[in-house]
């Protein structure tokens, strides 16, 4: 049951990414190209998502617990540090180069386009590099 609902939720997300055009790097890159072939569509994706998610979260998070778990699993980090800012800024550079973000690329697997797997392989490579570097810096810190 839990897995079935997860597949269904994934499907809704995947359809949303597909229909909205987030799945298409050409469209994503055009959103960022104000001085060229600008396509404002992605602002509408964001608006549509937030128009549902803001009231939806308000409703859901007002409840004591989710249906299948004991509690809501929410990030409890509050600090805005260099790591967050530089990490996000770095992500934006890569997004501006490739046109895919992780949420666009996962549903794109379904198209079977080899370029999606190329991107995902590089993405996973980058995530593992970051994980490796983080593990090394942590282990070097004096206790």
Q: Least Å distance between CB 139 and another protein?
A: 17
Q: Least Å distance between CB 64 and another protein?
A: 11
Q: Least Å distance between CB 138 and another protein?
A: 13
Q: CB-wise, 35 or 143, nearer to another protein? A: 35
Q: Are 9 and 107 in contact (CB under 8 A)?
A: no
Q: CB-wise, 40 or 142, nearer to another protein? A: 40
Alpha-carbon dihedral angle through residues 89, 27, 105, 92, given to the nearest 10 degrees: 0
Q: CB-wise, 82 or 142, nearer to another protein? A: 82
Q: Are 14 and 110 in contact (CB under 8 A)?
A: yes
Q: How far apart are CA 10 and CA 86, in angstroms?
A: 29
């Amino acid at each position: 049951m839990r897995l079935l609902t997860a597949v269904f939720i994934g499907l809704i997300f995947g359809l949303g990414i597909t229909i909205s055009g987030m799945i298409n790097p050409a469209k994503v890159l055009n959103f960022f190209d104000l001085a060229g072939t600008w396509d404002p569509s992605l602002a509408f994706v964001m608006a549509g998502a937030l128009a549902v998610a803001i009231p939806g979260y308000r409703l859901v998070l007002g409840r004591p617990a989710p249906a299948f778990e004991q509690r809501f699993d929410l990030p409890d980090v509050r600090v805005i540090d260099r790591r967050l800012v530089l990490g996000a800024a770095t992500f934006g550079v890569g997004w501006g180069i490739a046109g895919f973000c992780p949420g666009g690329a996962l549903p794109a697997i379904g198209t079977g386009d080899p370029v999606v797997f190329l991107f995902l392989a590089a993405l996973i490579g980058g995530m593992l590099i970051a994980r490796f570097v983080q593990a090394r810096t942590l282990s070097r810190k004096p206790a």
